[in-house]
Amino acid sequence: MAKQPSHSLRYILAENVRNFRIAEGYSQEKLAELSGLHRTYIGSIERQERNVTLTTLETLASTLGVSVVHLLSPGAGHACSDDESKA
Q: What's the one-letter identity of residue 71?
A: L
CB 61 within 8 A of CB 68: yes
pLDDT single digits (tens) 16-41 = 999 999 999 999 999 999 999 999 99
Q: What are the domain boundaries of the chain?
A: 9-82
Q: Along the 87 residues of the chain, how does pLDDT read in single tens digits?
A: 556 566 799 999 999 999 999 999 999 999 999 999 999 999 999 999 999 999 999 999 999 999 999 999 998 877 554 554 444
Among 68, 71, 65, 60, which residue's Cα sits nearest to residue 33? 60
Alpha carbon distance 62, 45 (integer Å): 16
1: Cβ–Cβ under 8 A, 6 or more apart, which residues?
48, 49
CB 4 within 8 A of CB 49: no
Write the CATH number of the domain with boundaries 9-82. 1.10.260.40
